[in-house]
């Protein structure tokens, strides 16, 4: 199945109109129509994720992996075929919770939402480090000092 036919299948299975889904995703209904009919390449990951959410497709599911595979196949069939062969024909889902023992990424609409959700998660899991990646690709890791050093530093402040 093509990316567009998968989107159309899920939209119709959920009994959703094209305008309804497009509005939920934040794109023009004409664009969604062109995507469904294959007249437009599949969108990049952020819009693809919003489409899947609007259609009720869980990011960690095999259905989402199928949607990603169809998007990759449409964008670069040769590269998709090579990657698929490396994985033994199995669809790859970078949002799968079992990938590298990590939880799937959380997409946020604003920096404030991202900070709030990351803070909430750090507190609820007793995190020991947080990694921040800037738009330029620079990565910085923040870690909690352990043992006597953390107590000493808190007293100095």
Could you give the CA distance from residue 105 to residue 115 in angstroms, rounded to a whole number?
14
- Binning pLDDT at 50, 70 and 90, where does residue 42 land? very high
- Segment of 18-22, 98-102, 144-148 carrying the highest mean pLDDT: 18-22
Tens of pLDDT, residues 11-29: 999 999 999 999 999 999 9
**Which residue, 56, 60, 67, 59, is CA-closest to 25?**
56
CATH, domain range 3-101: 1.10.260.40
- Binning pLDDT at 50, 70 and 90, where does residue 133 land? confident
Degrees to nearest 5, angle at CA 70 with 94 and 100 = 10
Delimit the CATH 1.10.260.40 region(s) of the chain.
3-101
Q: How many C-alpha atoms does 3 have within 13 Å on its Cβ side?
A: 27
Across the chain, how many H-helices and E-strands are there?
Answer: 8, 2
Could you give the CA distance from residue 153 to residue 157 in angstroms, rounded to a whole number?
7
The pLDDT of residue 101 is 53
């Amino acid at each position: 199945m093509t990316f567009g036919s998968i989107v159309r299948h899920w939209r119709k299975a959920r009994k959703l109109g094209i305008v309804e889904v497009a509005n939920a995703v934040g794109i023009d209904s004409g664009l969604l129509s062109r995507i469904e009919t294959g007249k437009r390449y599949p969108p990049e990951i952020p819009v693809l994720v919003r489409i899947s959410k609007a259609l009720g497709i869980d990011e960690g599911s095999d259905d989402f992996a199928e949607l990603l595979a169809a998007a990759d196949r449409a964008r670069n069939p040769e590269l998709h075929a090579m990657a698929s062969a490396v994985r033994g024909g199995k669809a790859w889902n970078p949002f799968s919770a079992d990938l590298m023992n990590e939880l799937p990424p959380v997409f946020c609409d604003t920096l404030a939402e991202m900070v709030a959700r990351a803070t909430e998660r750090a507190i609820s899991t007793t995190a020991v480090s947080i990694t921040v990646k800037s738009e330029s690709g620079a990565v910085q890791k923040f870690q909690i000092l352990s043992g006597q050093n953390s107590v000493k530093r808190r007293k100095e402040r």
